[in-house]
Amino acid sequence: MLTRIDHIGIACRDLDATAEFYRATYGFEVFHTEVNEEQGVREAMLMVNETSDGGATFLQLLEPTREDSPVGKWLAKNGEGVHHIAFGTPDVEGDSAEIRSKGVRVLDAEPRHGTMDSRIAFLHPKDCHGVLTELVESAGAARAAA
Ligand code: CMX
Ligand code: CO
């Protein structure tokens, strides 16, 4: 069961400058930074609020580490902007299977490594009315609460 908006993924060209925009404009501080070579991104997580399932909602700023990565290709085509949304779940495998059974392509046959040791799976945007959608099982409180 999906229990929160885990994050909104925002593609940017300069992670540090974009993080500074969010700090100076809204007061959102960087909570965590990480490089995920498998996904081809350098990322910063900015916490916006905690959620009733024991998790939290973040903005995820994404700078590509290589041009041929999903975010690199997307930036070249679209420029900076909202790249994906992510829903939190205590059971990424179970929700992936259920959503796949409804005819939505799950891009990851097995969950992959996500930020802060989460486990993630992506749904094809063409099956989700144009929205690239990610499922996130976080490593912390939300999974323990399952
Ligand atoms: N949102 C909505 N639509 C998107 C999209 C996005 N982010 N990315 C691609 N599309 C659309 C394109 O516009 C295109 O549509 P048209 O055919 O109508 O032009 C179609 O999907 C195919 O796009 P493409 O540019 O040819 O790209 P690919 O098919 O090679 O890849 C996708 C698209 C979704 C399969 C790929 O981006 C992917 O596997 N994404 C999942 C992984 C990811 O995004 N990782 C980065 C984030 C990591 C994290 O959050 O931790
Ligand atoms: Co994401």
Q: What is the pLDDT of residues 70-120, one digit of tens each?
A: 999 999 999 999 999 999 999 999 999 999 999 999 999 999 999 999 999
For residue 59, the SS3 value is strand
Residues 6+ apart with CB under 8 A from 16: none
Please state the domain extents for the chain: 4-144
Atom of ligand 1 lying closest to residue 124 CA = 34
The question of ipTM being above 0.85 is answered as yes
Q: Which of the following CATH numbers is that of domain 4-144: 3.10.180.10, 3.40.1640.10, 3.40.50.2300, 3.40.50.300? A: 3.10.180.10
Residue 16: how many other CB atoms lie within 10 Å: 14
Q: With a cut of 60, say whether residue 142 has pLDDT above it.
A: no
Q: Is the CB–ligand 1 distance for residue 122 below 6 Å?
A: yes
Residue 146 has a pLDDT of 45
Q: Are 105 and 97 in contact (CB under 8 A)?
A: no
User: Which of the listed residues 35, 122, 124, 131 should we mutate to test ligand 1's pocket, taking the one with most ligand atoms within 8 A of CB?
Assistant: 122
Q: What is the pTM of this model?
A: 0.96
Percentage of the chain exceeding pLDDT 90: 95
Residues near ion ligand 2 (CB < 5 Å) are 9, 60, 86, 134
Residues 81, 139: Cα–Cα separation, whole Å: 27
For residue 83, the SS3 value is strand
Residues 30, 46: Cα–Cα separation, whole Å: 5
Question: Which is catalytic among the residues 39, 63, 84, 137?
Answer: 84
Distance of CA 107 to the CA centre of its chain: 14
State the DSSP code for 106. Answer: B
Q: Are 90 and 146 in contact (CB under 8 A)?
A: yes
